[in-house]
Amino acid sequence: MLYAVLCYDSEDVVGAWTKEQDDAVMVSLGEVQERLAAQGRLGPVARLLPTTAATTVRKGREPLVLDGPFAETKEQLLGFYVVDCDSLEQAVETAKDLARASGSAGAFELRPLRYYKAGSAGA
Amino acid sequence: MTDPAWIHAALTGARPQALGALLRYFRDLDTAEEAYQDACLRALKSWPVNGPPRDPAAWLILVGRNAALDGVRRRSRQTALPDETALSDLEDAEAPLAERLDGSQYRDDVLRLMFVCCHPDLPATQQIALALRIVSGLSVKQIARAFLVGEAAMEQRITRAKARVAAAGVPFETPGAVERAERVGAVAATLYLVFNEGYGADPAAAEARGPLCEEAIRLARLLLRLFPAEPEIMGLTALMLIQHARRAARFDADGQTVLLEDQDRTLWDPKLIAEGLALIDKAVRHRRPGPYQLQAAIAATHARAPRFEDTDWAGIERLYAALERLQPSPVVTLNRAAALSKAEGAEPALALVEPLEKALSGYFYFHGVRGALLKQLGRRAEARQAFNRAVALAGTAAEAAHIRAEIDRLGA
Q: Which residue of B lies nearest to A12 if distances are taken between CA atoms? A: B13
What pLDDT does B80 receive?
A: 55
B58 touches chain A (CB under 8 A): no
Q: Is residue B295 a contact partner of residue B232, using CB atoms and an 8 Å limit?
A: no
| The pLDDT value given to residue B79 | 53
Rg (CA), chain A: 16
User: Can you tell me the distance from the alpha carbon of B244 to that of B259, in angstroms, rounded to the nearest whole number?
Assistant: 15
Q: Which amino acid is at B323?
A: L
Residue B93 contacts A, CB cutoff 8 Å = no
Domain count, chain A: 1
Contact yes or no for B9 and A114 at CB 8 A? no
The sheet with strand A55-58 has its strands ordered as A64-67, A55-58, A107-110
C-alpha distance from residue B381 to each of A117, B363, B367, B390, B412 (Å): 58, 20, 14, 14, 10
CATH code where residue A18 lies: 3.30.70.1060
Q: How many CA atoms lie within 13 A of B230 on its CB side?
A: 22
pLDDT for position B89? 47
Closest to B277 in 3D by CA, of B295, B299, B294, B300: B300
CA angle at B216 for the pair B211 and B222, rounded to the nearest 5°: 130
A21 interaction partners in chain B (CB closer than 8 Å): 5, 9
Length, in residues, of chain A:
123
Q: Which of A24-38, B201-215, B308-322 has the lowest mean pLDDT?
A: B201-215
- Domain that residue A7 falls in: 2-112
> What's the pLDDT at B88?
47
CB proximity under 8 Å: B 208-247 to A: 214, 218, 221-222, 224-225, 228-229, 234, 237
When pLDDT is cut at 50, 70 and 90, the band that residue B82 belongs to is low
- Residues B324 and A14: their CA atoms lie apart, in Å, by 39
Over 60: is that where the pLDDT of B121 sits? Answer: yes
Query: What DSSP string runs through B342-403?
Result: HHH-HHHHHHHHGGGHHHHTT-HHHHHHHHHHHHHTT-HHHHHHHHHHHHHH-SSHHHHHHH
- Beta-carbon separation of B275 and A67 below 8 A: no
Quick one: pLDDT band at residue B148, thresholds 50, 70, 90? Answer: confident
Helix B231-245 to helix B177-199 angle (10° resolution) is 10
Q: List, in order, residues 6 or more apart from B169 with CB less than 8 Å away.
A: none
Question: What is the per-residue pLDDT for A103?
Answer: 74
| pLDDT class of B171 with cuts at 50, 70, 90 | confident
* B46-81 residue pLDDT tens: 999 988 888 899 999 999 999 888 877 776 655 555
A114 vs B5, B274, B279: nearest CB = B274
Q: Which residues of B touch A29 (CB under 8 A)?
A: none
**Whole-number Å distance between alpha carbons of B172 and B366:** 46
Percentage of residues in chain B with pLDDT exceeding 90? 63
B349-370 pLDDT tens trace = 999 999 999 999 999 999 999 9
How far apart are alpha carbons B412 and B407 in whole angstroms? 9
Size of interface A-B (CB pairs under 8 A): 73
Residue A21 lies in a domain: yes
C-alpha distance from residue B249 to each of A98, B122, B260, B267, B385 (Å): 42, 35, 9, 6, 31
B9, B221, B278 ranked by CB distance to A13: nearest: B9
For chain B, how many residues are written? 412
Residue partners of B194: CB distance under 8 A and separation at least 6: B128, B131, B132, B212, B215, B216, B219
Is the CB of residue B293 less than 8 Å from the CB of residue B235?
yes
Integer Cα distance of B111 and B132 in angstroms: 15
What is the full DSSP assignment across B183-235?
Answer: HHHHHHHHHHHHHHHHHT--HHHHHHHHHHHHHHHHHHHHHHHHSTT-HHHHH
Q: What angle do CA B372, B374, B376 make, to 5 degrees?
A: 70
User: pLDDT by residue (tens digit) across B213-237?
Assistant: 999 999 999 999 999 999 999 999 9
Is the pLDDT at B21 greater than 50? The verdict is yes
Q: Do the domain assignments include residue A14?
A: yes
pLDDT at residue B351, as a whole number? 97
For B9-63, the DSSP string reads HHHHHHHHHHHHHHHHHH--HHHHHHHHHHHHHHHHHHHHHH---SSHHHHHHHH
Q: Is B287 on the interface with A (CB under 8 A)?
A: no
**pLDDT at position B200, please?**
79
Whether pLDDT at B274 is above 50: yes
A71 part of a folded domain? yes
Contact A87 B281 (CB under 8 A): yes
Tell me the CA distances in angstroms from A91 to A70, A95, B224, B398, one per residue in order.
Answer: 16, 6, 21, 44
Which uninterrupted H or E stretch holds B302?
helix B291-304
Cβ distance B282 to A49 less than 8 Å, yes or no, reads: no
Comparing C-alpha atoms, which of B187, B278, B243 is closest to residue A51? B278
Mutate to test the interface with A, among B225, B233, B286 (most CBs of A within 10 A): B225
What is the reported pLDDT for B68?
Answer: 87
Closest of B109, B120, B126, B103 to residue B182, by C-alpha: B120
Minimal Cα–Cα distance from A11 to chain B, Å?
8
Q: How far A49 CA lies from chain B's nearest CA (Å)?
A: 6
B362 phi/psi in degrees, rounded to 5: -100, 15
For B214, which residue in chain A has the nearest alpha carbon?
A: A18
Is A105 a domain residue?
Answer: yes
Within 10 angstroms of residue B245's Cβ, the number of other Cβ atoms is 21
Q: Which residue of A has its CA nearest to B15?
A: A12
Least confident of B25-29, B45-49, B105-109, B390-394: B105-109
Return the residue of A nearest to B273 by Cα.
A114
At residue B106, the pLDDT reads 79
- Higher-scoring residue by pLDDT: A74, B45: B45
| B63, B34 contact by CB (below 8 A) | no
pTM, whole model, 2 decimals?
0.88
Is there a contact between B9 and B30 (Cβ–Cβ < 8 Å)? no
Q: Is residue A41 part of a domain?
A: yes
Tell me what pLDDT residue B348 has.
Answer: 97
pLDDT band, residue B273 (cuts 50/70/90): very high
The pLDDT confidence band at residue B87, using thresholds 50, 70 and 90, is low
Where are the strands (E) in chain A, listed by range?
45-48, 55-58, 64-67, 107-110, 113-117
Residue A15 with chain B: CB contacts under 8 Å: 13, 218, 221-222
10-residue averages of pLDDT along chain A (123 residues): 90 85 92 94 94 93 90 85 94 92 87 92 78
pLDDT score recorded for residue B201: 75
Residues 107-136 of B with CB under 8 A from A: none
| Res B85: pLDDT | 55
Domain assignment of residue A30, yes or no: yes
